Structure 1
Amino acid sequence: MSTKAKSPKNSHTIMNELVLPNDTNTLNNLMGGRLLHWMDIAAAISAQKHCNRIVVTASVDNVSFKHAIKLGDVITIEAKVTRSFNTSVEVRLDVWAENIPSGTRAKSNEAYYTFVAVDQSGRTIPVPELKPETEEEIELYNGALRRRQLRLILGGKMEPNDASELKALFFKD
C-alpha cells in the first residue's frame, strides 16, 4: 500500500440533492437511475479523498429501494471508505430522503460501491491502507473481505472454494 494509513473519517462525504420534476417518473417518484448516478458521484468523491487519485467504478453491490423518494424531497447521501485493498477501495453509502415542510426523514437505501485507483494512463496503482477507529468502522472493515469475496465469485474472478472468509461463515474446520 502506498503512503500512510488513513482513517475512514478522511473520506467521509455528504452530498445533498433536491428532487426536481426532471428527476422523477410519472408517479412523481425519484427515478432509480438518477439516484444511482448521484450515489456513484458521492462514492467516487469519497474514494478519491482516500486515494488522492483518480478512481473508476469497479462494481456496485445490490441496491434495494426501501422507501419511495418523492418530488421535492431533499436527498442526503453519506459515503465513507470501509476498507482498502491493494488497488481498490470499498465505499459504503447511506441514503436519506427528507421532506422539509413535513419534517419527516426516512432511510431509502444503503449500498457498497467498489472503486479502483488509476494513474493518468489508466493503470491501476496502490492505495493507502485504511485504519478503522470506531466499533462500527471496525465491523464494516471486517465484513468488507467477505463482501469482496462474494463480489469476486459473482464476477467470475474467484472460485467459491477459494473464498475462505465466506466458507468460515458456513463450515466449521
Structure 2
Amino acid sequence: MQEKTVKESSITSSHLMLMEHAGNFLFNKNNPIGLVHGGIIMKLMDEVAGMVASKHCRRPIVTVLIDNMYFFAPIYIGNKVILKSSINYVGRTSLEVGVRIEAEDLKTGKITHTNTCYLVVVAIDDVGRPTPVPRIKPESDEEKRRYKEAELRNKIRIDERKK
C-alpha cells in the first residue's frame, strides 16, 4: 500500500454559526448569551475528521474514540468556526486525526483557538470489518512532531485497553 503525505488528506473548513446552532441553551430559545451549543462543535469536528480519514484511505470509516475535548474559549452566534484537520498517525487499520478549532469574530477579525481534539477512526471494508490503511509520511517538522506525539498517545490508549 502506497504511503501518503499529510497534505494529501488535510482539510480546512469553515462554518458560520447561526441561531440554529445555539440549541436550547439554558432552556431559552432566544439564547441571550449567544453561545453555540458544544454538541454542534463536536458534530462538526467528527464530520471533518471523518472526511480527512476517508480521503486518506478512500474507504468508509467509523469513529472509535474521541480523546478529551476541552473548550478553551466560547464560540458565539455570528462567529465563523474554522476547523483544521489532518492525519497525525496511522496504525494498521486505524488513524488518529487531529482537529484544531478556531472561532473568528467577523466584526473584529480576531481569531481565537477554542478547541483541539484527537479522534481515532478505523477504516472498514465492504462488510464492515477493519481493513488496512495507507501509511502516513510526515514531511514538515510540525508533522513529524505531531506524529511522535500521536504515537505516544496511541501507546497510552493501548495500555489503557489492557487494564
> Same-fold call, TM > 0.5?
yes
- Matches of 2:45 and 2:133, distance apart in 1: 21
SS at 1:68 equivalent: coil
Q: 2:38 — aligned with what?
A: 32
User: 1:153 Cα deviation (Å)?
Assistant: 3.5
Q: Return 5+ residue gaps in structure 1 as ranges.
A: 160-173
Shift of 1:67: 0.8
Which one of the candidate residues 158, 163, 166 is aligned to 2:162? 158
- What secondary structure does 2:95 align onto? strand
- Summarize the alignment of residues 102-113 of structure 1 with structure 2, pairs less than 5 Å apart: 102-113=108-119
Confirm whether residue 13 of structure 1 aligns to residue 11 of structure 2. yes
Provide the residue aligned with 2:98 in structure 1.
92
- Among the aligned pairs, what percent are the same residue? 31
- The answer (yes or no) to whether the contact 1:58–1:115 under 8 Å persists in 2 is yes
Tell me the C-alpha RMSD between the 2 structures.
1.1
Distance 1:110 1:144 in 2: 13
CA distance in 1, matches of 2:109, 2:137: 36
Query: What is residue 21 of structure 2 aligned with on the other side?
Result: 23
Taking the aligned partners of 2:11 and 2:122, their CA distance within structure 1 comes to 18
Amino acid at match of 2:87: V
- Mapped partners of 2:65, 2:53: distance in 1: 13
Question: CA–CA distance in 2 between the matches of 1:41 and 1:111?
Answer: 13
Whether contact under 8 Å (1:93, 1:110) holds in the other structure is yes
Tell me, in whole angstroms, the C-alpha distance in 1 between the residues paired with 2:83 and 2:154: 22
Paired residue type of 2:162: M
How big is the shift at 1:139? Answer: 0.8
SS in 2 for 1:101: coil
Q: Equivalent residues in 2 for 1:16-165 (5 A)?
A: 16-24=14-22, 25=25, 26=31, 27-154=33-160, 157-159=161-163
Distance between the aligned counterparts of 2:53 and 2:65, measured in 1? 13
Per the TM alignment, residue 41 of structure 1 is displaced from its structure 2 partner at its CA by 0.3
**What is the number of equivalent residue pairs in this alignment?**
155
Structure 2 unaligned segments of length 5 or more: list them. Answer: 26-30
- 1:22 deviates by 1.2
For 2:88 and 2:53, the matched residues in 1 are separated by 10
Q: Distance in 2 between matches of 1:152 and 1:71?
A: 39
